[in-house]
């Protein structure tokens, strides 16, 4: 004889445990027009802001399972806006990005760790100008009705990647620290 569970308290508890997973949204469709990657550095002590106009991002993020999340971002270095056409042209050369040999920068996540309050730490590898470095990037997840955003800011040291070599290696002229700020907007299923 089969037993049928009719305990309403047990049924309610099971439904509550299953419901968040069943209704969780996995964000995976990136909205390029609502996303941005920018940077700020100091040249001769003066802050200079810029950004990149073209990049591609692949991601999968389910707030109910952040440990399963993944992200890959490829930045087209030729899309730089460094504040002036002269600076944009200079960045293409061997002393800076050497874009003829390394046209893209790539970040690939390896781990996402929840920090609480919609904040996460994303670890991964940034490859720029043929050099790879591990990064830990703080990210804030902001859910929305039409789309969610993933906002982060981190500092990279340009000389770790050979950016600004030769006469540009003097950190009194161009600071070694570059603050990178990004916003990735995405929708889910």
160 CB neighbour count, 10 Å cutoff: 12
Taking 70 as the threshold, does the pLDDT of residue 95 lie above it? Answer: yes
Q: pLDDT of 79-93, one tens digit each?
A: 999 989 999 999 999
Nearest to 155 by CA among 179, 123, 137, 134: 179
End-to-end CA distance of the chain: 42
Q: Residue 152 domain-assigned?
A: yes
Q: Residue 113 domain-assigned?
A: yes
Q: What is the mean pLDDT of residues 24-29?
A: 81
Q: Is 93 helix (H, G, I), strand (E, B) or coil?
A: coil
For residue 33, the domain's CATH number is 2.40.128.110
Q: Residue 49 domain-assigned?
A: yes
Lowest mean pLDDT among 15-19, 113-117, 150-154, 155-159: 15-19
Alpha helices (H) in the chain, listed in sequence order: 8-23, 85-91
- Residue 77 structural domain: 25-188
Q: Residue 7 domain-assigned?
A: no
* Domain total in the chain: 1
Q: Residue 10 domain-assigned?
A: no
Q: Residue 13 domain-assigned?
A: no
Q: Residue 157 domain-assigned?
A: yes
Q: Residue 6 domain-assigned?
A: no
């Amino acid at each position: 004889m089969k037993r049928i569970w009719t305990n309403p308290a047990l049924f309610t508890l099971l439904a509550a445990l299953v419901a968040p997973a069943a209704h969780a949204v996995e964000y995976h469709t990136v909205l390029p027009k609502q996303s941005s990657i920018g940077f700020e550095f100091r040249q001769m002590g003066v802050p200079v802001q810029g950004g990149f106009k073209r990049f591609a991002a692949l991601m999968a993020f389910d707030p109910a399972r952040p440990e399963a999340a993944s992200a890959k971002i490829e930045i087209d270095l030729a899309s730089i806006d460094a504040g002036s056409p002269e600076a944009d042209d200079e960045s293409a050369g061997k002393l800076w990005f050497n874009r003829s040999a390394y046209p893209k920068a790539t970040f690939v996540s390896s781990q996402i760790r929840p920090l609480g309050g919609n904040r996460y730490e994303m670890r991964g590898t940034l490859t720029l100008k043929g050099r790879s470095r591990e990064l830990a990037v703080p990210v804030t997840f902001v859910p929305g009705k039409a789309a969610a955003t993933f906002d982060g800011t981190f500092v990279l040291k340009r000389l770790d990647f050979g950016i600004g070599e030769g006469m540009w290696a003097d950190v009194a002229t161009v600071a070694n620290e570059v603050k990178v700020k990004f916003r990735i907007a995405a929708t889910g299923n």
